[in-house]
Structure 1
Amino acid sequence: MGWVALGGGFGLVFLVSAWSWLSPLPLALLFREVTRRPPAGAFKLTWLFGAGFFTAHLLWLPSSLSSFLGPGAVILSALLIALLASMWGLTAALTRRLLGPATLWGLPLAWTVLDALRATGPFGFPWGSLGYAWAQTPLVQVADLGGIALVGLLVALSAAALVSGQRWANGAVLGALLLAGVYSLTRPPAPAGTARALLVQGNIDPRLKAAGRRTEELAHYLNLTAAGLRAAPVTLVVWPETAAPQAPTAAPVRRALTGVSVPLLMGAPTEDGGLRNSVYAVQAGQTLGRQDKRRLVPFGEFFPARAALDRVYRAVFAGLGLPPLTGTVPGTTTQPLTLGPLRAGVLICYESTFPGVARALVARGANLLVTASNDAWFGPSTGAEQHFQMGRVRAIETRRWWVRAGNDGISAAVSPHGQVVARFPRGVAGAFTAPYGTAETRTLFVRWGDWVPFLAGIGLALIWSGQRWLTWRLAD
């Protein structure tokens, strides 16, 4: 149980605590023990460490799902934690088996590849990626060079250096950290946010939405918006995810929005070949564009092989006391929404945790990142804070302003350096004015993408080849 406790302590401080910068310490203890054990033993202790980590890091998960899934939330959470811990365990075991004596320095490379793989595909789940351990330190500024993967590689290399005992290797890691520190501390100041956005926070219980949408929701957002516009001039209004009960293409909604002359980004459902989770660009009742959510929450917003496994799903839903859910349809395009000079790269809720989505939007011309979210499902847990801090790194990776409107929060504005320049209280209804700006430059990460995991994979292949060659030479 010692490894579970160590991993749990790691998970409790990870990302949202000022102590998160000490993450290389527990990781170093894990790496040291992995190098001392056979692959099976490396899998076991890493699985225990990972189970403790993800149980603590995802404490919010069963409580946030329980209002929707009931007791089944605990079962699904346990299955997810076991799966994530198994990924960590397999990574340690395979590295130990393939690299042998070179395991210690192979582990940082293997973890970098694993974190990148965990963020790909329809089942992507980037919570727990190592780079977020230093998301609230100056070193996170190197994310504009190689994304959160580069920060994660530095975390893992620091852990390896703590236990290696190799002076040349430790010197190389220390040199890399010093270079990263100098780079981070010498960034030119971010341009001031000279424009103003109105972030509208409706604070509507999502369980009421799930029970059936009401026209009063639209009136609520219109009233909050009108009050905010009277209080201060703005150039952009942002509503949260699924704020409106109907799309602005519906005649009643279109008529109601004619009085909002300021460009508006609003979350609303769309019926187009199935139910879609969308954000619309609207001005004076005229729809200027639409972005559908592309990265859907597995088993929350989409159900794999739903038609083929219909009987299985119906039985599971019935056991949980739920209707036969069908999920939503993912979007297929990634394009900024144009509102005059603004080209807004929209990240709908969950999407803000994926570096690739923000990168693709900026590569296609987005000069501002905008997130419409609904974190009310998290309740008072740390889940919403984790979600926000992960999204904040997207601003650094792309050097774009990021504005965020949440149903019950967190509504905020973040500068291209990741500085939170405005943040508003959760759990209250209101319309808040926040500064923002635009940018046209493209960072190395935007231009080159996931070059860090790619090189890490090449590094693993070279170490493995070197080990094979050395074994062959010794046996000859």
Structure 2
Amino acid sequence: MRKNLLLAVFSGLLLWIAWPPTSYTTFFLFVGLVPMLMAMENIIQSNSSKKGRLVFATTFIGFFVWNTLCIYWVYNSLKIIGPVAAIPVTLIPYSLGPLLMAGACWLYYRMRVATSRGWALAALVCFWIAYEYLHQSWELNFPWMTLGNGFAVSHKWIQWYEYTGVYGGTVWIWACNILLYLLYLGLREAQSKQQRLKLISAFVLVLLLPLGLSLSRYYNYEEEISPSGIVVVQPNIDPYTKFNVPPYEEISTLTKLSDSAALPNTEYFIWPETAISEDINEDAFSGTPQFNQVKQFLVKHKNGNLLTGISTYKIYNDAHTPTAQQLSGSSQFYDRFNAAVNIQNGEKLQFYHKSKLVPGAELMPFGSALSFLKPVFEHLGGSSGGYGSQNEPDVFYSQSGVGADPVICYETIWGNWVAQSVKKGAQFIAIITNDGWWENTSGKDQHFDYAKLRAIENRRWVARSANTGISGFINQRGDVVQQSGWWVRAALRQNINLNSRLTFYTQHGDYLPYTAIILACVGGVWILLSSFRRRKA
């Protein structure tokens, strides 16, 4: 038991070392799961009567080590509720992912009981991808640790994400680890030299073929020349005090920074999430002092559009959305939104409501069951009843017809969501965020690095504006062309190339996990039927 536990922990440490933002160690992803597979094999081959429980518990501990070391920074964003009270709340993201990962490994064990090792390992990959898709789809979503995200700092290796998305990276990692694991078993079980040579050849092919194709694509990829001038602004306002800053003062800081980098042909100014932080009625926004202040700024930039984060609300005469709450002392209802708005020289306004909401701070998952946590989440600056959202992504269009994909903070890690907006006509991706909640930790770096994956999947430039964090520009190959420092005020100017062509992934989205889920369901049925046959016998 101790040996298997050490193997699982070692696996977790290898995966942590390989994870962004660590550089030059990404290759550990190709071996990091081998000790975990060895530990599971030892348990399966043991005489224990509780093999399933041991597989689940052992793998959970290993994956808990990996997750906790990679996303330790979650604790920083929760310290506002108190360092002691933050600990149990932090355990939710630390533990939930490992529980699901361990569940996939437990299903692998059940598959090993029902069929051969080869089929069980193939099923493990499907079970794992099904878990990853579940963890980006349900109300406790947190797809931060999807295996394919691990290549964000080695983006030259995964240019083929334009065909597969991050799930292609998950398959690649598992395929390499499984082949090395089978090679280890071949040595342990004294397989023939010919069989071992076949495994070595398969591993080399699986490792080097995607890598070679990617490097070739990277060095031969050429962007279509279609320039557009963009300015991203980082006002660097402390997120824990920003809502105490007078709106006029905040907008004044943003306009001064924007003016410092503007050129006559600047087409988009991009301000961060909740840059306009005072709750504003969307239907009356054009009559507010904040709107007039922005319009005065845009008068100097005739071609300019402002894409900015904003806190808004809408009032209804009835509760026609699941998140609508009743106004105190009134028969009316309202929704609050973490939103983005596109403002131009004219009367046209375009709003987008953040749709991938942070569980807890912006969305009360499984509302009634977790209602006891509402006071905690209110302290995080969120809405105890949940923010409103919209069902589909959107595209903002400038006066000249340039399409921008407004991506608000957490939405950065949903490849398929961003792809849907690009498919609708977005020619570049505008990410607005506020990463200062995590302080100067690797959380802000990981979040920035993940944006490279969206650039590659869709072959679109990314313009990223962070209130505090890292602002910058990423080209269509995933290269960081410019970036700001941490905790500094900055305004960055860049001519980006717009792109209207659609990649295979943009057109077809998450077809890999859909396929894996179907196969995982087949595997689950096989497990049930095999169990039924054994009991009957």
Which residue of 1 is the match for residue 229 of structure 2?
196
SS of the residue aligned with 1:119? coil
The reply to whether residue 288 of structure 1 matches residue 330 of structure 2 is no
C-alpha RMSD of the superposition: 3.0
For 1:9 and 1:323, the matched residues in 2 are separated by 35
Give the match's secondary structure for 1:265.
Answer: strand
Find 2:393's aligned residue among 334, 346, 351.
Answer: 334
Q: Give yes or no for contact 1:109–1:459 (8 Å, CA) kept in 2.
A: yes
Structure 2's unaligned 5+ residue stretches are 44-50, 184-194, 315-333
Once the two structures are overlaid, the 10-residue window that deviates more, 248-257 or 460-469, is 460-469
Aligned 1:226-237 pairs, distance under 5 A: 226-229=259-262, 233-237=265-269
Q: Report the secondary structure of 1:275's partner residue.
A: strand
Listed one character per residue, the Cα deviations across residues 111-145 of structure 1 (whole Å, up to 9, x for unaligned) are 22222221113322111111122233333111111
User: How far apart are residue 96 of structure 1 and its match?
Assistant: 1.1
What displacement does 1:83 show? 1.7
Asked whether the equivalents of residues 241 and 267 of structure 1 are also in contact (C-alpha less than 8 Å), the reply is yes
Q: Which residue of 1 aligns with 2:74?
A: 61
Q: 1:285 to 1:241 in 2, by over 3 A?
A: farther
Q: Give the counterpart letter for 2:393 in structure 1.
A: T
Aligned to 1:179: 209
Aligned mates of 1:146, 1:419 — CA distance in 2? 19
Kindly provide the amino acid, as one letter, of the partner of residue 348 in structure 1.
I
Mapping of residues 1-12 of structure 1, within 5 Å: 2=6, 3-4=8-9, 6-12=11-17
**Could you tell me which residue of structure 1 aligns to residue 146 of structure 2?**
129
Matches within 5 A, 1:143-154: 143-154=161-172
Shift of residue 355, structure 1, vs aligned partner: 0.9
1:244 matched to 2:276? The reply is yes
Distance 1:71 1:254 in 2: 42
Deviations 1:150-176 (A, max 9, x none): 011101110101111365565445434
Distance 1:46-1:408 versus aligned 2 partners, 3 A rule: same
CA contact (8 A) 1:99 1:463 kept: no
Residue correspondence of structure 1 range 35-46 to structure 2 within 5 A: 35-37=41-43, 38-46=51-59
Larger of the two Rg values belongs to structure: 2
Indicate which of 464, 480, 496 corresponds to 1:420. Answer: 480
**Greater CA drift, 233-242 or 6-15:** 6-15
Deviations for 1:30-57, whole angstroms, at most 9, x for unmatched residues? 1222233232221111101011011101
What letter is aligned with 1:85?
P
CA distance in 2, matches of 1:278, 1:324: 14
The 3-state SS of whatever aligns with 2:144 is coil
Structure-2 change in CA distance of 1:95 and 1:307 (3 Å): closer
Q: Which moved more, 1:117-126 or 1:104-113?
A: 104-113
- Worse overlay, 135-144 or 244-253: 244-253
> 1:96 corresponds to which residue?
109
Give the deviation of 1:180 after TM superposition.
1.5
Residues 395, 426 of structure 2: 8 Å contact kept: yes
1:276–1:229 Cα change, 3 Å: same
On the 8 A contact 1:142/1:151 being kept in 2, the answer is no
Query: SS in structure 2 opposite 1:436?
Result: strand
**DSSP 3-state at the match of 1:49:** helix
Structure 1 residues 397-439: Cα deviation after superposition (integer angstroms, max 9, x where no partner): 1111111000023111111111111111121112111231211
Give me the whole-angstrom Cα distance separating, in 1, the residues matched to 2:343 and 2:377. 37
Partner secondary structure for residue 206 of structure 1: coil
CA contact (8 A) 2:247 2:290 kept: no
Report the equivalent of 1:403.
463
2:130–2:513 CA contact under 8 A, matched in 1:
yes
1:21 aligned to which of 27, 30, 50: 27
Supply the distance in 1 between the matched residues of 2:342 and 2:432 (Cα, whole angstroms): 12
Tell me the secondary structure at the aligned position of residue 159 of structure 2: helix
Deviation at 1:92, TM superposition (A): 0.2
Letter in 1 for 2:66: F
Number of aligned positions between the proteins: 472
Please report the TM-score for the alignment, with normalisation by the length of structure 1.
Answer: 0.90
Unpaired segments ≥5 residues, structure 1: none
CA distance 1:366–1:79, change in 2 (3 Å):
same
- Equivalent position of 1:254 in the other structure: 291
Q: Select the residue among 116, 119, 123 that pairs with 2:136.
A: 119
Quote the residue 2:320 is aligned against: none
